[in-house]
Chain A
Amino acid sequence: MGSNPVTWLGSPVFPKAAKAALADTQLRRNLRKATHTIRDKRAKAVAELPDWEQLRLAGEAIKDDVLSNLDTYLERIEAAVTARGGVVHWARDAREANEIVLRLAREAGTDEVVKVKSMATAEIGLNEALAAGGIRAIETDLAELIVQLGHDRPSHILVPAIHRNRSEIKEIFQREMAEKPVSDEPRELAEAARRHLRRKFLSAKVAVSGANFGVADTGSIVVVESEGNGRMCLTLPEVLITVMGIEKLVPTWQDLEVFLQLLPRSSTAERMNPYTSVWTGVTPGDGPQQFHLVLLDNGRTDALADRVGRQALRCIRCSACLNVCPVYERTGGQAYGSVYPGPIGAILSPQLVNDMHDKQAASLPYASSLCGACYEVCPVRINIPEVLVHLRAEAVEAKGRTPESVGMAALGWLFADARRYENAQKVGSLARHLAPSGRISSLPWPGSKWTSTRDVPTPPAESFRTWWRKNRG
């Protein structure tokens, strides 16, 4: 297990974690209902726009420009934020970012920070690092709050508590809140969370957020959300600390036009998200009077160096790929052992870990049937199957000689020569005498992985090429 907290320490490899998740019938039901609902809504929201494909192409082009000229844009946003009274910090990895935030919170003289939902801070394990330094981090997004109060882990990028249904949420709230909800009605649960959080908003001195976009030209930071908790955090406390991955930049204000259409329709299936907060540095007498921007690398420049893999850095964290993925729908997010689950997680997490000798990370690119549903919905056209296969090749290389690699080489040798191949067909065809019923129900390992649930047809007496040779050759 590597040192990058993007994958959770001690997580089993994907097939093992998936096996446990698949047996949880309540989880299966919760996931199926949630993913199908949001999947169908997204399809409707996207179908409303006749220029959706052009928007995707534009999103891809803007992000590719950012990634190709990242050094320029990063220096530009640093200058712009500094000019408007903000302070820019550079963090090479999770540890550096956590240290910066912890130091800033201590300097503000607080032992509690409120948080806007943020993938970057989840990726670096900020809450745990702050706790170790004696500072409580309070999640204010409803789903993050459910995960935090449930002493649980997130299972989705946008809806981290997607694996929970409302009666499970009621139980968590009743156990953890001072003013307990009386029923599992959504309205009652939301009201309980509101009462719980309102006190925190009004007393917090420091807020920590992530960022959806950072405009290089102006230094403006953008956070989009649905609940209004973000707006509270971003405006009420004296000190605001934003942790932003270095790939979150857009060059100009105008580029937001593209992403503020792509993101809400892809993620929540809304034409527009309810709250869009934008701030630029510090405005005297209005909002936080101290603004810190922590620019986070944590494996991103390594990913950027990979010609095929770098497209994962276009990701705007919409979750559309999770919602359509037939694997994610069945295993849920926790099986991926990372804050980034689903198809995007399967290509992003191993790249951020950047160590294919890490068995858990190396198992993630195989957590896909390569059906391509993710690529089809991705608003920035990340060819996820292409990157999955690319990372599989890296995993194979890291593993060296294995029974699988020997088998693959043998098959390659067989396929290199048609005569050799035909002879092998003839030998294999003898297996039909072992199973006169026409189906084989049990094979030795590794074939047993197939025959545990599926029959195999017996090979016919004559392959097609043998027939062709006799009749047409």
Chain B
Amino acid sequence: MPAPRVGLFATCLTDTFYPSTARAVVRLLERLGCHVDFPMDQTCCGQMHYNTGYRDEARSLAAKYATVFAGYDAIVAPSGSCGGMVREIHPELHGTSDAFVRTYELSEFIVDVLGVTDVGAYFPHRVTYHPTCHSLRMLGVGDKPLSLLRAVRGLDLAELPAAETCCGFGGTFAVKNADTSTAMLGDKMRNVLNTGAEVLCAGDNSCLMHIGGGLSRLRTGVRTVHLAEILASTEEEPWAATP
């Protein structure tokens, strides 16, 4: 079987603020035998516009996405939230398109399409996992990320209490309702700290930016690392914090 041609949808947040995550997706998918391409015309899925009530801008970005990602066997995003926006909302804004249907969140693509749970990763740290709301409830990724993490050598997985409760990010909600968002964040951080984990992992950099922003402000010493970076880490080329 020829290597699947995968279009990487990095998402605007990861592209701009967390390039190490996108580089990790490239390394990981190439290791798993994919041909990875990053179409340079991509920008943003329009989720922030759509969720805040700016439908016209979101509609243009959905149209752009359909054009930019036409023709790939699969499109993979290191985000349940942006993946959910594309697969669940873009058709409503733009009409159906192969690009929407073939879009996967990273863990879905690895487990469902590639049929792999052990990706040969090595990550010798105590980790707890936060299942992000949209990966869970829009895409229904279930325990796929956890099954991938369980197969990582050296990884000590700590169960996060009340894991499925929202961290309070919610895009512009974090700013428009900053007090309520912070109250939700406080409970999430308490649960993370109670696990004794040194790393909080999730499949969305947006949620990690929120929880990590709180953990950093309080100088808790807990680090946030995207699922892709843990799965890309190997004994030969271990994960290292990027400045």
> Interface residues, chain A, CB within 8 Å of chain B?
14-15, 18-19, 22, 28, 326-327, 330-331, 366-373, 375-376, 389, 392-397, 404-405, 408-409, 411-412, 414-418, 421, 425, 428, 438-439, 441, 446, 449-450, 452-457, 459-460, 462-465, 467-469, 472-473
Contacts and interface: CB of A to CB of B under 8 A. Distances in A.
B213 to A, nearest CB: 3
A439 B177 CA distance: 22
Contacts of B210: 454
B179 A460 contact: no
Contacts of B169: 369
A454 B185 contact: yes
B50 A468 contact: no
Contacts of A331: 180, 183
Given A369-B184, A421-B43, A454-B217, A396 B54 contact: yes
Contacts of A408: 49, 52, 54, 57
A69 to B, nearest CB: 26
Given A393-B54, A468-B38, A472-B26, 8 more contacts: A14-B177, A19-B179, A376-B137, A392-B52, A397-B53, A408-B54, A409-B57, A415-B57
Interface string B69-88: 00000000000000000000
Interface of B: 10, 12, 14-20, 22-23, 26, 38, 40-44, 46, 48-57, 60-61, 64, 133-134, 136-138, 164-166, 168-185, 209-210, 212-214, 216-217, 242-243
A299 B174 CA distance: 31
28 contacts: A18-B177, A19-B179, A327-B180, A330-B183, A331-B183, A366-B172, A366-B176, A369-B181, A370-B170, A371-B133, A371-B165, A372-B133, A372-B138, A396-B52, A409-B54, A412-B61, A415-B57, A416-B43, A421-B12, A453-B217, A454-B214, A455-B213, A455-B216, A456-B209, A457-B17, A457-B18, A464-B15, A469-B40
Contacts of A454: 174, 182, 185, 210, 213-214, 216-217
A457 B40 contact: no
A413 to B, nearest CB: 9
Q: Please classify the interface of chain A as helix (H, G, I), strand (E, B), loop, or mixed, using the class held by over half of its residues.
A: helix
A393 B89 CA distance: 14
A446 B213 CA distance: 16
Given A389-B53, A464-B15, A464-B19, A22 B179 contact: yes
Contact of B50 (A389, A416, A446, A462): A389
A439 B184 contact: no
Contacts of A455: 212-214, 216-217
A441 B64 CA distance: 35
A18 B172 CA distance: 16
B166 A369 contact: yes
B224 to A, nearest CB: 10
A472 B38 CA distance: 9
A330 B217 contact: no
Contact of A473 (B15, B40, B136): B40
Contacts of A366: 172-173, 176-177
A409 to B, nearest CB: 7
A372 B40 contact: no
